[in-house]
Structure formats: structure tokens, C-alpha cells
Amino acid sequence: MRGTTVLPGENDAAGRPGALPMHRLEVPMRDAVPFAIGTFDSIGPMARAAFPHRHTFYEIVHVTRGRGTHVTDLAHWPLRPPHLGFLVPGQVHHWEDAAGVDGSVVLFTEDFLLDHPGDRDLLRLLAERPWPTLGGSGAAGADRLLADLHEEYARGADACPSVLRALLHVLVVRAARLYGIGPAGRRRPPGARPGAVAGEFTRLIGLGDPALWSVRACAARIGVTPGHLTDAVKAATGRTPGQLVREARAHEAKRLLARTDLTVRQVAGRVGFDDAAYFCRFFRRETGVSPGDFRRGAEVRGGA
């Protein structure tokens, strides 16, 4: 799909050393909905992009054939199709040595989940898992649902967006069942929706923007108090927002150390530390190794 990608150098963020290209979703005007589905070929070469990048949208990948490796953040997963994989906004991924990879790619934004806001939590949990090889009824069920989504999107009949949302909801829920993801099992305060708040918080800190690596900044962006954000995130994840922010900063630092030639001082600045020594203490506390040792280990592993 032409126009879905912001390439390096086309804006200030992409022009900074070590910055990742950020893909945005554009859809045909006839649909007027933030949703698209196609084959790897029809979506375009970015569907098999060999360089690390992030999205502003969700992506579901149904790989039916091909070989190579899908890299999510810093984890390498060899392809053994069929797969049904999930990516959330802000998540870093790319393909390595991809050959003959084909199947379906589903793209949609946060707004497309308005009818089923709970799906955001399921998608986040699905995106944290490797892509298992589907078998038996799981593979057949995915084939049927993806075929229905393709058909409905191509026809564009009356109430098409509603049907697409319903089919997408079924796909997400069935994938969660297939992958053993169940309800969180925690009681929620009356009237509260911690899952929705936590999902938006996770999305924001995953965008790699240092201005959002603050509980107060995220609370302001979401439109809740820092106290409510803390309660909601703890109820939905069992962890504090501060813990998740530190994890996000450490993860971005790992990516920059492994994937760029930025100095440790420059990496520190990119993840919001004015003091490189303090950054080194933070990194060692979060990861168990120094930035230099992590980078040397990444070089030995070939950047893995």
C-alpha cells in the first residue's frame, strides 16, 4: 500500500541517528475506516521490510508459506508456517533472510477497536508471545476467518466496517484461546476500566518517545490522574507504571546499543538521561550488565 511508510529522512524523528522509521496507515477513501487487509504482495514491500521499524497501527500477520526469520524487538523467531502473529503500535520488528514469504497482512488503528476495547489487552498479550506453528483446527480456523475478512473487505458492501470489526474481534478472541490467554482473573473496581487505561499506557511508552517515559506525562495524555493510572495499570498487569517505564527505557537502550553506532553517552541522551554515569547504573540495575558489555555481547551474537 503506497503511502503507509515514513522513511528515514522524511521527518525530523526519522532523521536522527539511530531513529527508527515509523509507519503510518493510510486506507482507500472509499472505505473511510482505519483498516486494510491484503496479501504480502498487495500490501507492498514494507510487508517484508528487512530493517527495524515501528508502526502507529496494529498488524496481524498470517504466514502461510516461506522461510526466514521474523525479529520482534531483539528476539529472533525462525519461520515454520503456518503462523498467526500479532504486532502492536510501537513494537519494533523486521524480517531477516525472508524468501517466498506469503499469506495475509491485516492492518488497523486503535480507532478500529472502539466496538471491542477489551481486544487491546488481548492484542498486547498476543504480541508478547512468539509465533507458534498452527496445526489442525487452529490452522483451518485461521484460514476461514482470514478468507472472510478478505472477502468482506473486497466487496465493501453496506455495513462493511461493522462486519469487519466483528470478524476481527472473533479472530482476536479465538487466537487468545488458541494461545492459552484467558481473562486476567482480577476483580475490577465498579465503573473502572483498567484494561483500557493500561493498554493505552503500554502503547504510549512503546512509541519510543522520551517525553512519554513519565507516569505524569502519560496520565496527562490519556486524561486521567497519575493515581488513577497507577491503580489501573496495577490492576490490569500486576505491575506499577514506573516498572513498565523503566523496562521500556531499558529496552530502547538495548536496541540502540545493539543496532546503532551511537556512543553510550548518546544512547543515554536518547533514552532521557543527561548523566551518562547515572544511565550506566540504571542499565546495569535493569539488565544485570553494563552498556558496554551488552553491546559487546550483541556484536558476538550478530546483533541478536
pLDDT digits over 264-285, tens only? 999 999 999 999 999 999 999 9
Check residue 122 and give its pLDDT: 87
Over residues 160-169, mean pLDDT: 93
Query: Does residue 30 sit in the same domain as residue 162?
Result: yes
Query: Does residue 25 sit in the same domain as residue 109?
Result: yes
Check residue 19 and give its pLDDT: 64
Give the model's confidence band at 299: pLDDT under 50 very low, under 70 low, under 90 confident, else very high: low
Over residues 279-293, mean pLDDT: 93
Rounded (to 5) percent helix, strand, coil in the chain: 50, 15, 35
Q: How far apart are the first and last CA of the chain?
A: 29
Query: Does residue 270 sit in the same domain as residue 229?
Result: no
Q: Which domain holds residue 27?
A: 12-178
| Contact criterion met (CB below 8 Å) for 26 and 67 | no
201 domain residue, yes or no: yes
184 domain residue, yes or no: no
Query: Does residue 147 sit in the same domain as residue 26?
Result: yes
Check residue 9 and give its pLDDT: 39
Query: Does residue 160 sit in the same domain as residue 43?
Result: yes
Over residues 61-86, mean pLDDT: 91
- pLDDT at 44 > cutoff 80: yes
Over residues 176-183, mean pLDDT: 78
User: What domain count does the chain have?
Assistant: 3
Query: Does residue 60 sit in the same domain as residue 148?
Result: yes
Query: Does residue 159 sit in the same domain as residue 197?
Result: no
Identify the helix (H) or strand (E) that includes residue 74: none
Distance from C-alpha of 38 to C-alpha of 44, rounded to nearest angstrom:
9
Query: Does residue 139 sit in the same domain as residue 229?
Result: no
Query: Does residue 26 sit in the same domain as residue 119?
Result: yes
6 domain residue, yes or no: no
Over residues 230-239, mean pLDDT: 84
Over residues 77-106, mean pLDDT: 92
170 domain residue, yes or no: yes
Average pLDDT in the chain: 82
| Contact criterion met (CB below 8 Å) for 56 and 25 | yes
Residues 6+ apart with CB under 8 A from 112: 33, 34, 35, 165, 168
